[in-house]
Structure formats: structure tokens, C-alpha cells
Amino acid sequence: MAKMRERQGRTDYAYAVIALTVMNPELNGKTIPEAAQLLMGKDTLNDQIETILDLEARGGASAIFHSMNEEDLQALLKHPLTMIASDGGPRFLGEDVPHPRSYDNNARVLGCYVRELKLLMLEEAIRRMTTPKASRTSL
């Protein structure tokens, strides 16, 4: 995580949100600085690192990393061979904090990149959401 943070020029771990930890469910949905503030009383970078290490030592956690660059995403969507898909899995309501791709992947493409930004035509977006995956799936 430190290399990702440094590579992106970030000064803290605010881009990382705890999705699920059995250690302390009160932390679910909190950023690392918010969790550090709750657990350590401070949210300095060292406190954030200690919080991450503590989470790991107590059974780990799953997290959501908000690290995509919008400009890069739009460039990828413009490429004709880009499929639109999600690797998010099903979740039980109220059990954890699911990654946005688990529930708004296609809606975001249709609303933001088709309707608002006109980056893709509706038919092309639908084709990319269905045809490539269907043609590559074997039953």
C-alpha cells in the first residue's frame, strides 16, 4: 500500500476505505485516517500505518481503494476493444460496505459516460457490456 500511495503522490491513506473487518465492525465504511482517529486518537501517517498493521494482526480487512484516474478511465473507455464489466460480487445488505463496482458499474457507464459525457453511444456501451463476455464464456 505504501508504494501505491507514494506512486500516486498521496500524503495519506484517505483513498482506502475499510469494507469489512471482523476486528471492529464500527470501522466498516471508514477511511484509514478515520479509523486511525477512532482507534489511536490521531490520524497522522504513522497512526494510519499502525492502524493498518493492527487490522492485519487481528485477522485482516477487505478494503476499497479509490485510486483510478478519471482521465485514464475515459481513455480506456474510448478504446474499441474495451469490455465493460465488473469483478464485484454479490453482497448481503448491511453485512459490509461493498465496493461501488458491485452495484453501480453499468449504471455509471450509462449515466455518466453515455448520457452526460457522450463518450460512448448507448448501443456501443450495451454491446460492450454484453457481447464480448457472452462470446468468451463457455458453459
Q: In the CATH hierarchy, which top-level class contains the domain 2-65? A: alpha beta
Give the distance, in angstroms, between the CA of residue 120 and the centroid of all CA atoms in the same chain. Answer: 23
Please tell me the predicted confidence (pLDDT) of residue 4: 67
Please tell me the predicted confidence (pLDDT) of residue 101: 67
- Domain residue extents for the chain: 2-65, 70-136
Output the pTM of the full model. 0.63
Burial class of residue 13, CB neighbours in 10 A (0-12, 13-18, 19+): buried
DSSP code, position 60:
-
Residue 62 makes CB contacts below 8 A (sequence gap 6+) with 18, 19, 20, 21, 96
Over the stretch 57-96, which tens digit does the pLDDT of each residue have?
999 998 888 877 888 889 999 999 999 887 776 667 776 6
